[in-house]
Structure 1
Amino acid sequence: MTATHTAHAHTAKQGWAGGLMVFGAVMLLLAGMLDVFRGIMAIAEDDVFVTTRNYVFQFDLTSWGWIHLALGVIGMLVSVGLFQAATWARVAGVAIAGLIIIANFLSLPYYPVWSVVMIAFSGFIIWALCVVKRDDYKDSFGQSGA
């Protein structure tokens, strides 16, 4: 391989890494915003939710609303750190996306289709944040790998 080819491959790799980080940040921002809206709807006890009986993980609809609202706000805050390529935000983004998956699974009977959509959405966030090597995304944002 020539030095030019290696430099081009390295630059392309950094471009993909930066793109995936931005993708993960935007997706987490959107998931957070949608979770905030879902939380507000649940707190207001909107008629869009299904009422269920005898569900093992049954909480009051208002409780689910506060859970989704909190996860949404935290997700939106973490996405700001992802736009700055902060390592803490990458770890926190995976954790928040995982918690969003769990919350949507547990509240599945209340809003089934949307819960499945959010589970898939959060899976893409985890993938985007886990697939990139640290040095690649740090370099793509113009920061040192240290």
Structure 2
Amino acid sequence: MSSSAHQPPTRSAPGGTRNGWATGGRVFGGALMIVYGILAVLQGITAIAKDDVYARLGDYVYRLDLTSWGWIHLIVGIIVVVTGAGLINGAPWARVVGAVIVGLSIIANFMWLPYQPFWSIVMILTGFFVMWAVLAHHPAHDGS
């Protein structure tokens, strides 16, 4: 008996490439979005409740009150969590909303660099992976 008889069939994208990575990436991207959003919510709550926790690293072009940044992170974080859950469940709206909101989150984290440089870079890089996972998935090719 051939060992390929027990393997599930794979589907190919129009160019003949397999999209299993993109499908798995969609689920992983949705889970990552939920974690990403929860961390943004916690980051926002910290900035709102105690805006003296974060230290400014000097003059920066994008100056906002830390409480304002807290509200931005809180709102974006909540939307990212809801969209991540929708993405995992295969909601058709979640792909477009996920791409837009993660793009906005990447921009917000870029502007957050003077307050948390290392964390902002981690969030930006994570955002790029999530963006790829959301945009590379083609629901018409895998039945979801």
Q: Bin the TM-score by the shorter chain.
A: 0.7 to 0.9
TM-score by length of 1: 0.82
The CA distance in 2 between the partners of 1:82 and 1:49, in whole Å, is: 32
Q: Give, as a single letter, the amino acid of the residue that structure 2 aligns with 1:95.
A: V
TM-score (norm 2): 0.83
CA distance in 2, matches of 1:15, 1:23: 12
1:20 aligns with 2:21: no
1:135 alignment counterpart: 140
Structure 1 unaligned runs (5+)? Answer: 142-146
**Aligned residues of 1:98 and 1:122 also touching (Cα < 8 A):** yes
**Which has the larger share of helix?**
1
Once the two structures are TM-superposed, the CA of residue 47 in structure 1 deviates from its matched residue by 4.6
Q: Distance in 2 between matches of 1:65 and 1:81?
A: 24
The corresponding residue for 1:9 is 10
Q: What whole-Å deviation, never above 9, does each CA across 1:81-112 have from its counterpart, x for those lacking one?
A: 11221221011111111111000111110111
Aligned partner of 1:61 among 52, 66, 69: 66
- For the residue of structure 1 that corresponds to 2:9, the secondary structure is helix
| CA-CA distance at 1:116 after TM superposition | 0.6
- In the alignment, what sits opposite 1:92? 97
Gaps of 5+ in 2: 13-17
Letter in 1 for 2:76: L
Q: Which amino acid aligns with 1:118?
A: M
Matched, 1:102 2:91: no
Aligned length: 134
Q: Out of 36, 42, 56, which is 1:37 matched to?
A: 42
Partner Cα distance (1:84, 1:94) in 2: 16
How far apart, CA to CA, are the structure 1 residues paired with 2:10 and 2:56?
Answer: 54
State the 1:10 CA deviation.
Answer: 1.6
Letter paired with 2:10: A
Identity score, percent: 45
Task: Evaluate the alpha carbon distance shift between residue 9 and residue 40 of structure 1 in structure 2; reply closer, same or farther with a 3 A threshold.
Answer: same
What letter corresponds to residue 8 of structure 1 in structure 2? P
Distance across 1 between alignment mates of 2:97 and 2:58: 34
Matched, 1:124 2:129: yes
